[in-house]
Amino acid sequence: MNNAQEIAAGIVAGDFKSLARGISWVENEVAGYGQLLHITPTHKCAVTGITGPPGAGKSTLVDALITVWVAAGKKVGVLCVDPSSPFNLGALLGDRIRMSEWYNHPNVYIRSLASRGALGGLHTHILEITQLMSVAGFDEIIVETVGVGQSEIEIAGLADTTVVVVVPEAGDEVQTMKSGIMEIAHIFVVNKSDRPEADQFVHHLKQMMAPSFSNTAYQIPIIKTIAAQKTGIDELAAAIATHQQQLHDPTRKNWLLTQKALRLIQQKRMQDVDATKLLAAISAQSQDPQFNIFEFVQAY
């Protein structure tokens, strides 16, 4: 399987090996990978983003959602964007242990991606990789992000439904996130809700969100879960389905699509910029006392 046509055919047929090879081509920008991105999905595939601060239990929640959807006969694809090793930029895969039971399941495909330093909690090529997943016959796609905080609003441009996961102890963190990540949630999940502070935390969360309720007909649900015990997961799955079946104002979605287009245009125009050659040029010229980085960039 060494050419784009063979890989594309395998992806459309739902072959996980072809999908894995295709994602690797996109990640490493192998020559011809762009041909894989022109396949038109044959059916609607919902994308659910799972985001929130580290330690909120996102991976455990994803594992529980997989259980519900597989039991319903659905085919599920999962993209887990992990923190990167600072040395080789590979993914740190500790959280994937929580989903280990699904790796050989015929209806579940899980792929870990390193963020490779990308801001926003995602992956540089997450748009392209999600596009490949959407043509592979999945009924549900989950994108779990690193969980880096307010800048993680990038997930809103990718997912049909964005689930923000918090825990009862996250009072100060929620205040910090309010101006960013709080605004992109379609569903809030208060995980580990068996802890004593859970009810009071939900009450405070509702108070914080009250102003937004007056501006829209859509009421953002707040769902209490105990992901480790799979409590509240059926309710969460139902809330995701309800949100995705509703009609929403296209203005926001069109703005997010514009941001996607801008990023893809930027990537395309940067293709000829080689970091190694750039380093060599800067190394050669930076010895000059008159070296100016802005003039260098202007002339490069």
Mean pLDDT to the nearest integer, 178-191: 77
Q: Is residue 185 part of a domain?
A: yes
Highest average pLDDT, of 175-184, 209-218, 248-257, comes from 248-257
Q: Is residue 162 part of a domain?
A: yes
DSSP line for 191-247: -STTSTTHHHHHHHHHHHHHHHHTT-S----EEE-BGGGTBTHHHHHHHHHHHHHS-
Q: How far is CA 99 from the centre of its chain?
A: 17
Name the DSSP class of 91: B
Give yes or no for a contact between 225 and 236, defined as CB atoms under 8 angstroms apart: yes
Look up the domain containing 202 and give its range: 40-249
Of the candidate ranges 190-199, 220-229, 248-257, 270-279, the one whose mean pLDDT is the lowest? 248-257
Q: Is residue 291 part of a domain?
A: no
DSSP line for 259-281: HHHHHHHHHHHTTT--HHHHHHH
Of the candidate ranges 52-56, 187-191, 199-203, 208-212, the one whose mean pLDDT is the lowest? 208-212
Short-list 178, 106, 134, 99, CA closest to 22:
134
Find the CATH number of the domain harbouring 88. Answer: 3.40.50.300
Evaluate if residue 90 carries a pLDDT over 50: no
Please write the tens of the pLDDT for every residue from 25-39.
988 888 888 889 888
Three-state DSSP class for 38?
helix
Q: Is residue 212 part of a domain?
A: yes
Evaluate if residue 56 carries a pLDDT over 90: no
Evaluate if residue 246 carries a pLDDT over 70: yes
Please write the tens of the pLDDT for every residue from 161-177.
989 998 887 655 565 55
Q: Is residue 76 part of a domain?
A: yes
Number of independent structural domains in the chain:
1
Mean pLDDT of the chain: 81
Q: Is residue 189 part of a domain?
A: yes
Evaluate if residue 189 carries a pLDDT over 70: yes
Between helix 16-28 and helix 4-12 the angle, nearest 10°, is 130
Highest average pLDDT, of 83-87, 181-185, 188-192, comes from 188-192
